[in-house]
Every structure is written in C-alpha cells, then in structure tokens.
Amino acid sequence: MKREKKKKRVVIALGGNALGKTLPEQMQAVKLTSKAIVDLLEENCEVVVSHGNGPQVGMINNAMAALSRENPDQPNTPLSVCVAMSQAYIGYDLQNALREELRNRGINDILVATMITQVRVDENDPAFTHPTKPIGYYMTKEQAEFAEKNYKYIMSRSSDNQYRRVVASPKPQEIIEIGSIKALVDAGQLVIACGGGGIPVIRQGNHLKGASAVIDKDFVSELLAEKLDADCLIILTAVEKVAINFGKQNEKWLSYLNTKDARKYMAEGHFASGSMLPKVEAAVLFAESKPGRTALITLLQKAKEGIQGKTGTIIGID
C-alpha cells in the first residue's frame, strides 16, 4: 500500500488585503486569495481558513443604521448580528471562489463549507469598559452626536476632529461550534470558520447572548489552531516579513523570531498595536502552546513560498 506523508494541518488567518473594502473589490480579491489557499493544499497541507471583517462589518453596520433612520419601525441592528451577516457574506464569496479554483485545478474531492461561528467572550473583559476598535466611516460632530444619542454608540474623536465609532475587542474564550468545525476538518473538508473574529456571545445559562464587540481575528485564529491541534498558524497579511525598527533607517526584516525575542520586541514597542502587535502576540501564544507548533507571518501572495520555508517570518521556540 502506498503510504502517504502525513498532512500538515494549518490554520490561516486572512487580513484586510485578502478581501478588499467594497463588494466588487472583495469579489476580485477572493480569486487571488483562493489561489494562495489552494497552493497550500497542493503543498500537502490540510487547511482551515479564518478571516477578518473590519471594512465589511463597518459597511453592514452603517447600512443597518441607515435602515433604522429611514424606517422607525426598524430598531438598530446589534453589532453581533452585523458580525454574523459579515461571516455569511464573506463566506459566500470565499467558498464560491475556492470551489472554482479547486475545480480549475482538477481537484474535485474537497468540499468547501463556511461555518457560522459563535465565540464566547467574558462579560467582565476589561475591553468592554475600554472600547478601542474603530469600525465604520468617519463622522462629523453632528452625526456622531446623533449616533451617541440614538444608537448608544461610543464615539472616538481623532486629532483632526473626525469621529468614529469604537467598539470593544474582548479576548476569545471558547469557540462554540468547535465540535462541528473539527468534524468537517477531520472529514477532509475545506472549512471557513471564526470569520470576523467570530460572533461575540456571552453565556447566560443555556442562552448565548450577542455582545456588542468585534473580536480580533488573529487571536481567534490562534485559539482555533490550538483547538484543532494544528501544526502551523499562518497569518497572511500585507507584508512579507515582520520587522524591528519598522519604517526606520535601521529597519530589519526577520526570517525567524523565537518567542523570547518576540516578547522583548513587543515590550520595546516594535509592533504597531491593532496591526502587527496582535499578530505577533497570537504567533507567540501558538508557538508556546505545545512543542512542535510554529507560526508564520507573511504576504498573502507568498503563502506557498512561506510554507516551503523560503520567505516570511517563522515564530517558534528554539
């Protein structure tokens, strides 16, 4: 009997550039993204996909707010529902493009599915009292006051007197649908899960109540990778490698980063919060969660070279 080399299980986290910012942009972007994902399948990987939703959840949130302005019978839509909508919409475009790319390469035995995923957060998470994640469009003072009064939004003001809604970004505690995700992954299906960080919910006995928050996709991808006992967490973003002294004269791009140095660099402020910092934090958590686990941060278009060890930044323990 022919013995197959054991497949490497990877969870990939897709960032903003994998999806674009508008409906037509997304439909185009997912084609390239699907090529990168199917490249990994052809590198003998078992792939699980998660993704962010910054622009999409902002867009949906604004559209739903416009609906309730037009029609007073329509109360404003909870943010948890907006995240659910973003999962379905992004999942639709991605699974459609993935199915097409698989068929174009003559791979007909891999099924693609999107799992609507709820993620439990702690209602006492300090993020709820300090919302930091901006979503949606920039507003004038008048628009911001209207939203504060009528929708109970928390607004933040930037230095140039522009206003933006900020929401809490609590840490993911538990992936509610993990059993279903695992069953599909174990059956060899290509699964898209935990989209947009997952739908944030708080446990109230048997009831899961939607929370007004957006969970960071890098952290939930890390949790997903741990729970699926993945070998590698791959964060695909808009840079090929992680740098120290980023953007400065003495900038240095890193091919390998051990978790000890990563912690030191984090403390020294080398990684911008809200962009590179959560990626490095997630990578460190994963690499330290079990011997043999590594994380890779690289450019979406370089996923294949990354898994071959030719580029990107690998985060591991020495």
In the annotation, is 209 catalytic? Answer: no
How far apart are CB 16 and ligand ADP at their closest, in Å?
3
Q: How far is the CB of 308 from ligand ADP (least distance, A)?
A: 21
Output the residue with the shortest Cβ distance to ligand ADP. Answer: 15
- Tell me, yes or no, if 17 is annotated catalytic: yes
Q: Clarify whether 171 is annotated catalytic.
A: no
Q: Is 89 in contact with 20 (CB distance < 8 Å)?
A: no
CA 144 to chain centre: 28
Catalytic residue among 15, 17, 35, 91: 17
Burial of 282: CB neighbours in 10 Å, binned 0-12, 13-18, 19+: buried
Tell me the C-alpha to C-alpha distance, in Å, between residue 64 and each of 70, 76, 144, 184. 10, 7, 16, 33
Interaction between residue 237 and ligand ADP (CB under 6 A): yes
Q: Judged by CB under 6 A, which of 68, 156, 173, 275 binds ligand ADP?
A: 275
> Which one from 52, 61, 133, 195 is the annotated catalytic residue?
133
Per-residue CA distances from 81 to 44, 95, 196, 213, 270 (Å): 36, 21, 12, 11, 35
Judge whether 16 counts as a catalytic residue: yes
What's at 192, amino acid-wise? I
State the catalytic residue, choosing from 217, 241, 302, 304.
217
Choose, by CB under 6 A, the member of 35, 51, 133, 270 that binds ligand ADP: 270
**How far is it, in rounded angstroms, from Cα 273 to Cα 194?**
21
- CB of 94 or CB of 184, closer to ligand ADP: 94
Q: State both tokens at 243.
A: 């740098």
* DSSP symbols for 20-61: -SSHHHHHHHHHHHHHHHHHHHHTTEEEEEEE--HHHHHHHH
Task: Name which of 145 and 268 has its Cβ closer to ligand ADP.
Answer: 268
Residue 304: CB atoms within 10 Å: 18
Return the number of the residue (38 or 236) whose C-beta is nearest ligand ADP. 236
**Residues facing 210 on adjacent strands:** 201
| Nearer CB in complex with ligand ADP: 31/99 | 31
Q: How far apart are CA 163 and CA 282, in angstroms?
A: 30
The Cα–Cα gap between 152 and 161 comes to 20
What is the contact mask toward ligand ADP in residues 29 to 68, using x (rule: CB under 6 A)? Answer: -----------------------x----------------
Q: Please report which helix (H) or strand (E) contains residue 181, including its range.
A: helix 178-186
DSSP 121: -
Q: Which is nearer to ligand ADP, 15 or 184 (CB)?
A: 15
Contacting ligand ADP (CB under 6 A), which of 64, 239, 314, 315? 239
Q: E strand or H helix at 66, and its extent?
A: helix 54-70
- 302 as an active site residue: the answer is no
We find the least distance from the C-beta atom of residue 142 to ligand ADP, in angstroms, to be: 30
List the catalytic residue out of 35, 241, 279, 302: 279
Q: Which residues, 109 to 138, sit near ligand ADP by CB under 6 A?
A: none
In the list 272, 273, 308, 317, the residue contacting ligand ADP (rule: CB under 6 A) is 272
Per CB under 6 A, which of residues 276..305 are in contact with ligand ADP? Answer: 276
Stretch that binds ligand ADP, among 86-94, 126-134, 150-158, 234-242 (CB under 6 A): 234-242
Chain residues binding ligand ADP by CB under 6 A are 15-16, 52, 237-239, 242-243, 246, 270-272, 275-276
Catalytic residue annotation? 16-17, 133, 217, 279
